[in-house]
Chains A and B, each alone.
Chain A
Amino acid sequence: MSAKAERERLEALYEVFKVAALDDQRRYYRFRVDRCRKAARQVNFLRALFSLLTGLASALAGLLIATAAGDSLVSQCALDRLGPIAASAAAGAGVDMAAAAANVAAATADLDCTLVNVVVPLLLVVAVVAPALGAAFTTLADLFQWDRQTQIYDTALENLEVADAHSPVPDMNNVEYQAALNAFAEGTLTVMRDETTQWGQLIRTPESLQKYIDAAVRRQNLPGAGEQTGGSA
């Protein structure tokens, strides 16, 4: 093969490798870094939001109950709720409690129990639901490992630039061009290999989830509790 033809072959190989291997990997790493950063940020925001909601709901419920207790609102609203029940029970037992029920109704007629009967229970529900959802998002972040992925792909991107720095340039003679092309290709393949190795090490089933799965397996008395999802207990 003539030197010119050999040079053309090397240049063609360089173009193919650059586009199909290096640029493709670079696009993939950039895509993953961007996606993982966004996902981690969004989930972190939701975790913080649910944590904030938990605190606010608990504090507000405490404040409302303390205020309502100070105004005897809690006991009066309880009386308001229990009055009709007591009257109905008494009527069922054949006892005439109509007068007593009427007295209770008169005593609580102007009472606004929305705060005690609706708002406080709602706040309690938020105080119970929000931490559970926050914990779910924490486990989700553990499952997908977005922060670690960002770090791995970011490092791979940087290393890819080092490999790209070995790209052959047109002024080189054929021997130099071939050597530079080999270094460039090998450098890129090494980055790909290192990234795969590191990536494989971060995939683990979150500990909290693994415990839950193990408990479910134990209930069924199945063997190999730690192997059910192949995760690390």
Chain B
Amino acid sequence: MMADAPETPNASPIARFTQPVTQAARSGWRSFMPAFIQEMPYLRFPSAPNPQFRLIEQKHIEAIKSLYPEATERIEADIAFMNYELLRLFVERDYEAKSNQNRYRVYQLLFLTLATIATLIGSFQALALNSSPEWLPIWAFLETVVALLATFLATVSGREPPLPRWLDNRRRAEQLRREYFRFLMNLPPYDSLTGYKRQVELSRRAADINRGMFPEEPTVLSSEKAKS
């Protein structure tokens, strides 16, 4: 009989939660495909962000609450405040980033497919020149169709280009994520504020990040220097 695995001395009591939190779509059948196919974009992407998404899942909070029932009061209050002031912005930015990433990759893969087909048609055209010239008009027609499709796709994808939108929204979402934990951990600039002032500062910084004005991310050291 196998012996039970020894417990790690400093293992977190909530370490059993092993999946990274994400609002990305997960498809069952893809998990059986090669890794590079799992990386491919989705043709049917969710039409709206997941409003239930949380950076700290309720089960985590419950687990910590069972260990530190009194100490979690302020943590819960901070989380509840951030769920409205910051998290909804994060969820929207994260969704926009994912949606544009998906759109960008769909377009790029369509262009890639068209470029490959155009190459193949060109090669067959060159072969047909010698062996079956009667096929040349058909190859030429197909080449034209592919070129027209590429132009059509370029026109469609040209409106609201997805790449800058993907990068911009991702940058904002990631800074909002960091701001979430900065506030929770009471790191600068929140360490020197209390009460409503601390909350107002979070609201202001979150709104700035959301509109693309990235506030400074001070460290404890730089904050101490500034104070002195």
Interface residues, chain A, CB within 8 Å of chain B? 5, 8-9, 11-13, 15-21, 23-24, 27-28, 31, 35, 38-39, 42-43, 121, 124, 128-129, 132-133, 135-136, 139-140, 143-144, 146, 181-183, 185-186, 188-189, 192-193, 196, 200, 203, 205, 208-209, 212-213, 215-217, 219-220, 222, 224, 227-231
> What residues of chain A lie closer than 8 Å to B116, measured between beta carbons?
132-133, 135-136
Could you show 13 A-B contacts with beta carbons less than 8 Å apart? A11-B68, A12-B64, A27-B18, A28-B22, A132-B116, A144-B36, A146-B36, A183-B220, A192-B177, A193-B175, A200-B170, A217-B155, A229-B163
> Are A15 and B14 also in contact (CB < 8 A) when A24-B20, A222-B155, A222-B158 are?
yes
Interface residues of B in 148-168 (CB under 8 A from A): 150-151, 153-155, 157-158, 161-167
Complex: chain B residue closest to A46, CB-CB: B36
> Are A216 and B170 also in contact (CB < 8 A) when A35-B38, A128-B124, A228-B157 are?
no
Q: Chain B at the A interface: mostly helix, strand, loop or mixed?
A: helix
Complex: chain B residue closest to A214, CB-CB: B154
Cβ of B228 < 8 Å from any Cβ of A? Answer: no
Cβ of B119 < 8 Å from any Cβ of A? Answer: yes
> What residues of chain A lie closer than 8 Å to B207, measured between beta carbons?
none
Complex: chain A residue closest to B179, CB-CB: A189
A9 with B71: CB separation less than 8 A: yes
Cβ of B21 < 8 Å from any Cβ of A? Answer: yes
Bound-state Cα–Cα, A185 to B157, Å: 41
Cβ of B25 < 8 Å from any Cβ of A? Answer: no
Bound-state Cα–Cα, A189 to B175, Å: 10
> What residues of chain B lie closer than 8 Å to A209, measured between beta carbons?
108, 111-112, 115
Bound-state Cα–Cα, A39 to B38, Å: 9
Cβ of B182 < 8 Å from any Cβ of A? Answer: yes
B68 with A8: CB separation less than 8 A: yes
Interface string of B109-127 (1 = CB under 8 A from A): 1011111101110011001
